[in-house]
């Protein structure tokens, strides 16, 4: 009986793992089939839904614009020149201030006491100098004593001037006309050199910066004026003077060009607003203009998709000029061609298409 039981146990030890393995294999196979059934299988014979445009001759270079951002002409964070406790912050965010306007008052009580002490010392030293002068003339004392008194008086006056300057610096004043755009400390805080307390921004004059591709830099000259518009106020047109043409390209291989612009009398234009510098060209040309976003292929061989007989066909093109996000095509396209403008996902040469 014990022998039969032992054989049965050994059989179970073999059968149970085999059964478990079989269950796992069946489960994995079912999961694979379920996963494959859920995966999107693209049908190359199915027509792809796209958007298209019929090409036509357009005016080229009638007007070119470059987008940019307005920045303040002056902006600075103000800190104390000496350390001390802040007794009073005299402005709030949004306050208009003029150059020399008092902004923050630091505690100067100890400095004023030191000033009183040195003033008393100066009175005593002046008396000593007067007395020693009289005695030296009468040869009653050595001349060296008079010299020491005079030097002591000069030293005391330098100390007084130092204290007066330190007391003057406890009143922090605006370095230029502007608006308080940030309040970075409060009454009772401790001020120290280099620790920002307020930020002042001057937007009566603005900087306007655009980025221009290298092949279009020649359109701008230093110190010349250009028309600048504001996106938020279409009725406002300003004159911007080109004050800087970048000498180094940025990450996008474009060069920054900066203009100085006078703000409106009511200071409508704020720092961070967007605008455009507009260039007009009196020479009117005509050509086929396409959006650069529809171009596929390489830089050396640009291509676009045309629609022919219900299919997308790759067409080689030649680009004569690029203006911002537009490209002027000199060959490869003709008026009346239907070109794909949207729906490039899964699109390939020879694909069946339906136009939305």
Pick the CATH number of 65-73+202-280 from 1.10.10.10, 3.30.1600.10, 3.10.580.10, 2.40.30.170: 2.40.30.170
Q: How far apart are the first and last CA of the chain?
A: 82
In the prediction, which pLDDT does 216 show? 82
Return mean pLDDT, the chain.
86
The CATH number of 77-196, from 2.40.50.100, 3.30.56.10, 3.40.190.10, 3.30.70.980, is: 2.40.50.100
Q: Which residues contact 75 (CB under 8 A, 6 or more apart)?
A: 178, 181, 199, 200, 201, 202, 271
Domain spans of the chain, in order of start: 1-41, 49-60+285-355, 65-73+202-280, 77-196
pLDDT above 90 covers a percentage of the chain that reads 50
Predicted TM-score (pTM) of the model is: 0.57
CA dist., res. 238 & res. 228, Å (int): 5
Q: Where are the alpha helices (DSSP H) in the chain?
A: 2-38, 109-137, 143-169
DSSP 352: B
Could you tell me which residue, 117 or 215, shows the higher pLDDT?
A: 117
Residues 6 or more apart whose Cβ sits within 8 Å of residue 279:
63, 64, 65, 66, 219, 226
Task: Tell me which range, 8-22, 99-113, 212-226, is most confidently predicted by mean pLDDT.
Answer: 99-113
Beta-bridged to residue 336, according to DSSP, are none
Phi then psi for residue 42, to 5 deg, are: -75, 130
339 Cβ contact list (under 8 Å, min separation 6): 52, 53, 54, 55, 290, 294, 304, 305, 306, 307, 333
Residue whose token pair is 């149970």? 16
Q: Output DSSP code: residue 247.
A: S
Is the pLDDT reported for residue 142 higher than 80? no
List the one residue out of 66, 69, 94, 67 whose CA is nearest residue 272: 69
351 CB-side CA count, 13 A: 23
Taking residues 51-65, report their average pLDDT.
Answer: 79
| Tokens, residue 20 | 């478990």
The rounded distance, in Å, linking the Cα atoms of 353 and 350 is 9
Give the separation between CA 174 and CA 218, rounded to whole angstroms.
Answer: 41
Q: Would the pLDDT of 9 be above 80?
A: no
Lowest model confidence (mean pLDDT) among 81-85, 211-215, 271-275: 211-215
Higher-pLDDT residue of 145 and 173 is 173
Q: Residue 143: what pLDDT? A: 73
Residue 97: enclosing H or E segment and its boundaries? strand 96-97
CA gap 62, 320 in Å, rounded: 16
- Give 189's contacts (C-beta < 8 A, 6+ positions apart): 85, 86
Please, what sign has the CA dihedral across residues 185, 186, 187, 189? negative
Rg from Cα positions in the chain: 41
Given CATH 3.40.50.300, say whether it is the number of domain 49-60+285-355.
no
Q: What is the mean pLDDT of residues 164-190?
A: 93
In order of 10, 85, 206, 234, the CA distances from 209 in angstroms are 85, 40, 10, 19
Query: What's the average model confidence in pLDDT over 94-114?
Result: 94
Q: Looking up tokens 């003029």, which residue turns up?
A: 98
Instruction: Supply angle C-alpha 218, 223, 224, rounded to 5.
Output: 65
280-321: pLDDT as tens digits: 765 566 788 888 889 998 888 999 999 999 999 999 999 887
pLDDT band at 140 (very low <50, low <70, confident <90, very high): confident
């Amino acid at each position: 009986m014990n022998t039969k039981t032992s054989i049965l146990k050994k059989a179970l030890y073999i059968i149970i793992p085999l059964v478990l393995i079989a269950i796992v294999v069946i489960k994995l196979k079912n999961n694979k089939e379920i996963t494959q059934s859920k995966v999107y299988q693209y049908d190359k014979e199915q027509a792809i839904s796209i958007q298209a445009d019929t090409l036509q001759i357009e005016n080229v270079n009638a007007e070119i614009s470059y987008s940019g951002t307005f920045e303040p002409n002056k902006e600075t964070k103000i800190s104390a020149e000496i350390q001390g406790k802040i007794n009073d912050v005299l402005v709030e965010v949004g306050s208009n201030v003029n150059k020399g306007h008092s902004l923050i008052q630091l505690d100067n009580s100890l400095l004023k006491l030191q000033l009183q002490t040195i003033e008393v010392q100066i009175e005593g030293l002046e008396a000593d100098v007067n007395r020693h002068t009289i005695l030296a003339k009468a040869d009653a004392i050595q001349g060296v004593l008079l010299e020491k008194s005079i030097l002591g008086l000069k030293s005391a006056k330098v100390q007084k001037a130092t204290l007066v300057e330190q007391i003057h610096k406890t009143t922090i004043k605006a370095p230029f006309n502007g608006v308080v755009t940030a309040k970075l400390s409060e009454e009772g805080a401790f001020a120290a050199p280099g620790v920002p307390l307020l930020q002042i921004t001057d937007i009566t004059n603005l900087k306007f910066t655009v980025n221009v591709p290298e092949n279009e830099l020649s359109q701008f000259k230093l110190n010349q004026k250009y028309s600048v518009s504001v996106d938020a106020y279409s009725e406002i047109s300003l004159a911007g003077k080109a004050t800087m043409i970048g000498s180094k390209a940025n990450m996008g291989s474009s060069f920054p060009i900066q203009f100085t612009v006078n703000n409106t009398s009511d200071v409508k234009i704020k720092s961070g607003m967007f605008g455009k510098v507009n260039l007009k060209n009196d020479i009117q040309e005509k050509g086929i203009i396409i959006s650069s976003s529809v171009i596929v292929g390489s830089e050396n061989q640009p291509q676009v998709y045309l629609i022919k007989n219900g299919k997308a066909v790759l067409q080689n093109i030649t680009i004569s000029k690029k203006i911002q996000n537009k490209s002027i095509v000199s060959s490869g396209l003709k008026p009346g061609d239907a070109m794909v403008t949207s729906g490039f996902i899964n699109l390939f040469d020879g694909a069946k298409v339906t136009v939305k």
